[in-house]
Amino acid sequence: MADRYIFPAVFYPPEQEGLDYCVVFPDLDVATQGETLQQALDMAKELLELTLFGLEEDGEKIPAATNPSNIVLDRPGAFVTLVSVYMPIVRAEAAQQFVRKTVTLPKWLNELAEEAGINFSRSLQTALRLKLDVSDPPADSRTK
């Protein structure tokens, strides 16, 4: 599993006023769009991060990136640019995502906690950290 990936993206300008830029990653068979060139580039980077993270999580092989000079542009105004992602940051952000859990409590305990203004999520997190003797997620933690 690599820390950095660089893939070529083909940018297609809007064909008429009011349409978005289209961005295609030919090696990954995914596409996105953006109203402006900057937004299209931002969306392309996010799409590349999510696509590669998903492939890693599923244990699928990440294809080799095509040499940009080998990409044939089929429309006037289209261009190729490289999009780079640094996966340790993507993985760390994924590890910080929250997961909703349903907890069952005795009615009397729930009422007392609500009356005391207890934050249930924070209390459960604190209790689990104490029980597991951890303060931060493991460095290699990823969502499953």
Residue written as token pair 């290699």: 140
pTM value is 0.70
Q: Provide CATH 3.30.160.250 ranges for the chain.
A: 4-94
Most confident of 72-76, 122-126, 136-140: 72-76
* pLDDT given for residue 144 in this prediction: 43
Report the CATH architecture of 4-94.
2-Layer Sandwich (3.30)
Cα distance between residue 41 and residue 22, in whole Å: 10
Distance CA 73, CA 99 (A): 43
pLDDT the model gives residue 143 = 43
